[in-house]
Amino acid sequence: MTPEEFRRHGHALIDWIADYRAGLEPQPVMARSQPGEIRALLPAQPPAEPEPFEALLADLDRVVRPGLSLWQHPRFMGYFPANSSLASVLGDLASTGLGVLGLSWQSSPALTEVEEVAVDWLRQMVGLSPEWSGVIQDTASTSTFVALLCARERSTGYSMVRGGLQAETQPLVVYVSAHSHSSVDKAALLAGFGREHIRLVPHDEAYAMQPEALAAAIEADLAAGRRPCAVVATAGTTATTAVDPIEAIGALARRHGLWLHVDSAMAGSAMILPECRWMWRGIEQADSIVLNPHKWLGVAFDCSIYLVRDAEHLVRVMSTNPSYLQSSADGQVKNYRDWGLPLGRRFRALKLWFLIREQGVAALQARLRRDLANAQWLAEQVRATPGWRLLAPVHLQTLCLRHEPPGLDAASQGEALDRHTQAWAERLNRSGLTYLTPAVLDGRWMVRVSIGAETTEREHVQQVWQAMQREVQA
């Protein structure tokens, strides 16, 4: 494709995307595809000869479009929001169009330096001290994994340059909560700690980790000759947006030399609001933090920010320096390849930079406050309506709720209640009006309503609430 063809087809695709975004509201929110249905629309073999771009564009309508759940739909309330704001989409387009790679600073200096600036802007926006430096990773899964590798290497005095984790004789232990994200468990397993060395610290009735229970678990491991290595605290858990007490956990981590990683993938965006910062009180005691601007804040996926206090340690764990990547600028510059797993890096900073500039901090704050108010409004409706129950505090924009009709209480009729919950949620999702996420809490199914798509206004929340009330009667 020549630049002139790109110009023509690019305009057509931009128009297609503009129409797609403008036309979301009348569409069903959750994809109705059957397994294998999309695959069956495509040829089993690759084409030998070129196809016109118009055919590709037509297949976005014929094949792709019907097979999408619509994450930017104003009534999308599943998982957590992923806003992919249009200014950020353009930042990402600029990145792909420029086609440069970050292997080293020299391989494209702007890629590194704009990332330094944009990440530091975000640091300021969420109220962290200048002690922190950050890097863009793909997802919180990766950021948390890097955190646990850094913890492992700090605890072992860099076992990697000797016999590795497999040569360590005194087992390392990682402390998490049953409400930590699934990626935390995965990261600990992949880092080689082993299931037997992952402690699930008990939580309180608000699903927050109990520091006393953490202290007891650490003491028990120490007494048994094991080495407490790391604790992962969460600001805004996935199931209920619970908030672990970071200050108390941080004090324990300091006392026992544990690495404290804070997963604020979700709540991190809310930290641009000073009134929300109680959620990570004590954050300066952490060793590493992850927050995901690609969720609620609006950066196009993928853009996860990993922040550390000791960048030198991070680089020592992750660095690689073959001769073909050395340049005369080394020593004066950051080489972000040494801040994460991949060697090659996209110019991801552009999509963060574009969003912050096109919106301005004040508008981002106003949008998040709107969503928090919408969540509180819905929480009031739920509390005030017989048969409905809120199951967890509404700290952010996500509600955990259940409809418990007379005669179906959770204690005595749990399985029947589960069937009721799953049935109405499935009906509602299939109806196309919204997309909510059913999940298990304390062994029983409930439904998460996660407000915060960029176009979600009060009226959309009202529509979903009305539909929920209708559906449970069906």
Which is nearer to its own copies, 194 or 405 (by Cβ)?
194
Q: Which of residues 345-374 bind its own copies (CB under 8 A)?
A: 346, 350, 354, 356-363
At its nearest, how many Å lie between its own copies and the CB of residue 251? 27
219 contacts its own copies (rule: CB under 8 A): no
Number of residues counted as binding its own copies (CB under 8 A): 162
Q: Which of 167, 223, 224, 411 binds its own copies (CB under 8 A)?
A: 167
Which is nearer to its own copies, 190 or 222 (by Cβ)?
190
Choose one: 17-25, 208-216, 374-382, 386-394; the region binding its own copies (CB under 8 A).
Answer: 17-25
At its nearest, how many Å lie between its own copies and the CB of residue 114? 7
HEC per residue, the chain: CCHHHHHHHHHHHHHHHHHHHHCCCCCCCCCCCCCCCCHHHCCCCCCCCCCCHHHHHHHHHHHHHHHCCCCCCCCEECCCCCCCCHHHHHHHHHHHHHCCCECCCCCCHHHHHHHHHHHHHHHHHCCCCCCCEEEEECCHHHHHHHHHHHHHHHHCCCHHHCCCHHHCCCCEEEEEECCCCHHHHHHHHHCCCCHHHEEEECECCCCCECHHHHHHHHHHHHHCCCEEEEEEEEECCCCCCCECCHHHHHHHHHHHCCEEEEECCCHHHHCCCHHHHHHHCCHHHCCEEEECCCCCCCCCCCCEEEEECCHHHHHHHHCCCCHHHCCCCECCECCHHHHCCCCCECCCHHHHHHHHHHHCHHHHHHHHHHHHHHHHHHHHHHHHCCCEEECCCCCCCEEEEEECCCCCCCCCCHHHHHHHHHHHHHHHHHHCCCEEEEEEECCEEEEEEECCCCCCCHHHHHHHHHHHHHHCCC
Which is nearer to its own copies, 248 or 396 (by Cβ)?
396
Choose one: 16-24, 275-283, 389-397, 407-415; the region binding its own copies (CB under 8 A).
Answer: 16-24
Q: Which of residues 134-153 bind its own copies (CB under 8 A)?
A: 138-142, 145, 149, 152
315 contacts its own copies (rule: CB under 8 A): no
Choose one: 251-259, 293-301, 306-314, 462-470; the region binding its own copies (CB under 8 A).
Answer: 293-301
Site string for its own copies, 379-418 (x = CB under 8 A): ----------------------------------------
Q: Which of 29, 77, 86, 270 binds its own copies (CB under 8 A)?
A: 86
Q: Which of 75, 154, 203, 294 binds its own copies (CB under 8 A)?
A: 294
Q: Which of residues 171-210 bind its own copies (CB under 8 A)?
A: 171-172, 181-183, 185-186, 189-197
Which is nearer to its own copies, 186 or 255 (by Cβ)?
186
